[in-house]
Structure formats: structure tokens, C-alpha cells
Chain A
């Protein structure tokens, strides 16, 4: 296979295809998409956005250190994260738009964070498996001798 065929678009498609096939099978077996799925998607996006934003905000301190501590990027990132928090707060408080099976705003926010940790744990175990198995396959084959000098 040539290099252009193995583009990132193809890899992305290869990654998404099994999930889409399983989803299609799931749809054909069940009674349609789960009613909370869109709420979960929105909650996941916002929680991931805020948590990753906070981690990056921490990294900005190191960046600021190497640039004589400018305030502009720190304030910019803080505003971006605060915007995310504001969206979560308003959508969760307003007419339970993002409220899942939780009693209130606080329990929804805490549940979102724990779900994010569990989700990332699941994805990390999967990544560990896929990357580890790929390397195991690579090292499983006899090393080819490229030059006579290697013998």
C-alpha cells in the first residue's frame, strides 16, 4: 500500500468504522438511540473541555516563565475555561437541559468528573492494549538484515 493511501483520513476512518458498525447493529437490535445519549455527549464534551483546559492552564505557567511572565495568554485561557464552566452551569441549571439521572447541579457536575475519569481509564486501557499488541507484532518478526556488515 502506498504512503498516500495510509493518510490520517484513512486511519481516522478505520478507527471510526468498527464503532459505527457496532452502533448500526445496536440500532437494529434495540429500540433506537438512548434518550440520554445527547445529554451525555454534551456533558462529556464540556467536562473534557474544562478539565483539559485547566491542565493546559497549568502548563501556561511554565510557558509564562520562559516569556517573562506575560499575563495575556493566562487571562485568555482562563476566560476560555470560564466560558466552558458558564455554559455547563447555565445549561445544567436551565430546565434540566444537561441534567441526567442526578438530583441537582452539584451532583451532575461531580458525576461528570467521575465519568470522565472512568471514561479516560477505559480509553487508556484500550490504548495500552492496542499499542502494546502492535509493538508485540512488530518485534515478533525476525529482524531483517539490511546490510552485509550487520552479519
Chain B
């Protein structure tokens, strides 16, 4: 337990702290150092603390890093290979980005249906079957919402909206195939069971987060509403008016230019 605390849980907390500090102006470098160091310790935990069940989470994140990087590379190429005013890439970047994005989706699919599956203690990683249906369901949901937003808020964006709807259907299709065809380590029956848990996870995370933010807003509002109104300031003194006129005079005229 102590080993797991030192090599898994404390680094996990420190990742959050590092992220927090790296966004501040004063301790940016310290934050980055903490973030990188604790991330490395956290990701190494499947080897440093193999006895802890929780390290399967770190093992999963490590397993999906490669397709995620490929996905980011692909999306970057697709976005900046298009018609952007700044930082435009070569026109081939769009095609290679498109290819990289589909390869990354392919790798994720192979992780379910092929030997690419993240294996932990000679069995499928217990968190893979949490991640995979959650990602599929949320992707299909967000792509559908983005498709409606595109046609609703944009002008003449029907073609783009159809492509986004197509992506939503693609993810729904992958989920449907997984519901019908057994994976390398997970049967279709097991996947169907985990799909319910993934829906419970998605709605639970969203509802819990929104509830917390609502209570936070309520606490702030409650406190702010008890504060007295700020006192009115008195009229400017002769000295203040004199200073004001002096400043105004310095900025009116423009003879020197």
C-alpha cells in the first residue's frame, strides 16, 4: 500500500498540481518539472508497483498514448493543411492527416479485435473495457451534436455537417459491430454489458461535475449577496481636478506631431 501511495497516488495528485502551476505565470517552470516528473513516475507504476490493481489505469493510458499522438498529428495536419490565415501547412498535410486519423481509429479498433489489446496480468486490462465503450459512445454523441451545430450556426455548411454525421455513424457502427462480434479478449456479450456501465459512467461524470459547479456558483453567489454595497465616493477635490486637466492637456493638441 505504501509503495502504491508513493509511486501511483502521490504522482497522480502531483500531475494535477503540476498542471495547475504550469498555467500560472510565477511558477511555470516548476509546474512543468513537476508535471513531467510525476507523469513519468505515474506511467511507470505498472512496473514499479505491479501488485496494485489501480496501476492498470496507468497501464491503459500508456497503451493508448501512441494512437492518441497519431490522432493529434492527423487532426493538426487536417486543420492546418486547410484554409487557415496563419500557420498554414503544405497541402499534402491534409491528406496525410486524414490518413493518420483513420489509422489511429483503426489501431483503436485493432486493440479490441486483434492482439493489440492492452493485456495486464495475462488478461485484458480491466480499464480498457471502460475506456473503449466510453470513447465510442461519447464520440458518436459529440459528432452528432457538432453536425447539428454546424448546420444550425453556420451558413451553407450542409456538406460539412453531413461529413460530421457520417463520423457519428462510423463510431456508432463500430460500437454496433463490437456488440455483435467477439473481440480478441472480450466477447460481444461482455461488451454489451460494459456498454451499460459506460453510459452510466458518462452521465454520472457529467451530472456529478455539473452538480459540483452549481454548488460552487451557489456558494459564491451566497457570499457575494451578503456583501454590503460599495460606498459612493465623494466629488473630486481641487487638486485632483487640477491634475486631471494637466493630464488632459498633455494628450490634446498634437502640435508636436
Query: What is the interface of chain A, defined by CB distance below 8 A to chain B?
Result: 1, 3, 5-6, 10-12, 14-19, 21-23, 25-26, 29-30, 33-34, 36-38, 40-50, 52-53, 55-56, 58, 60, 63, 70, 72-73, 76-77, 80, 107, 110-111, 113-123, 125-143
Contact = CB atoms under 8 A, between A and B. Distances in A.
A26 B63 CA distance: 28
Interface in B18-72: 20, 53-54, 56-57, 60-61, 64, 68, 71-72
B131 to A, nearest CB: 4
B142 interface: yes
8 contacts: A40-B201, A44-B204, A46-B208, A50-B212, A113-B54, A130-B146, A139-B79, A140-B94
B79 A47 contact: no
B220 A63 contact: yes
A131 B164 CA distance: 10
Interface stretch (B109-117, B172-180, B236-244, B248-256): B172-180
A76 B223 CA distance: 9
B208 to A, nearest CB: 3
Contact of B223 (A72, A119, A123): A72
Contact of B196 (A37, A47, A130, A134): A37
Contacts of B53: 107, 110-111
Contact of A26 (B12, B57, B163, B192): B192
Interface string B123-150: 0000100111011111111111111111
Contacts of B196: 23, 26, 33-34, 37
Contact of B208 (A26, A44, A70, A136): A44
A126 B135 contact: yes
Contacts of B208: 44-50, 52
Interface residues of B, number: 89
A119 B193 contact: no
B216 A115 contact: no
A3 to B, nearest CB: 7
Given A52-B213, A53-B212, A114-B54, A15 B141 contact: yes
Contacts of B10: none
A63 B216 CA distance: 12
A3 B148 CA distance: 11
Interface of B: 12, 16, 20, 53-54, 56-57, 60-61, 64, 68, 71-72, 75-76, 78-80, 82-84, 94, 97, 101, 127, 130-132, 134-154, 159-160, 163-164, 167-168, 172, 175-176, 179-180, 189, 192-209, 211-213, 215-216, 219-220, 222-223, 226
Contacts of A36: 197
Contacts of B159: 141
A58 B17 CA distance: 10
Given A11-B152, A49-B212, A125-B139, 6 more contacts: A18-B141, A22-B172, A30-B189, A123-B134, A128-B71, A137-B163
A12 to B, nearest CB: 8
A136 to B, nearest CB: 4
B135 A125 contact: yes
Contact of A132 (B78, B179, B209): B78
Nearest to A80: B215
Nearest to B208: A48
A30 B187 CA distance: 13
Contacts of A18: 137, 140-141, 144, 168, 172
B152 A6 contact: yes
B254 to A, nearest CB: 29
